[in-house]
Amino acid sequence: MKDTAKSAYVHIKKIKEVSTDENPFRRKHYFSPKELAEYLSLPLNTIYAWTSQRKVPYRKIGRLIRFNILEIEEWLHNKKIDAREYWAKRY
């Protein structure tokens, strides 16, 4: 019984940590190109190139470019490559 209570306490503590995460990216819905580059660990020039080639979903607000984090996450998810399929096609 003690183990179950301790396990529940640890689980609740983890949920609270995630929900009160001080990560600034968790709270924002739209990123600037610089923030997206930092978030994806890519050079800023890559973000601008992808934007001009329309490879990444973005919004124009006047002259500003903004990226919806939910659309970016979905876009990344759709970019997933199955390694078995990839290697089966190559050889």
pLDDT tens by residue, the chain, 91 residues: 455 555 555 555 555 554 455 655 556 789 999 999 999 999 999 999 999 999 999 999 999 999 999 999 999 988 887 777 777 777 7
Q: Does pTM top 0.85 for this prediction?
A: no
pLDDT given for residue 85 in this prediction: 75
Q: What is the rounded CA–CA span in Å between residue 7 and residue 24?
A: 29
Cα separations (Å) of 41 from 5, 28, 34, 68, 82?
40, 17, 10, 17, 22
The tokens of 60 are what?
């124009």
pLDDT given for residue 54 in this prediction: 95
Q: Mutual orientation of helices 33-40 and 69-78 as an angle, nearest 10°?
A: 40
pLDDT given for residue 8 in this prediction: 54
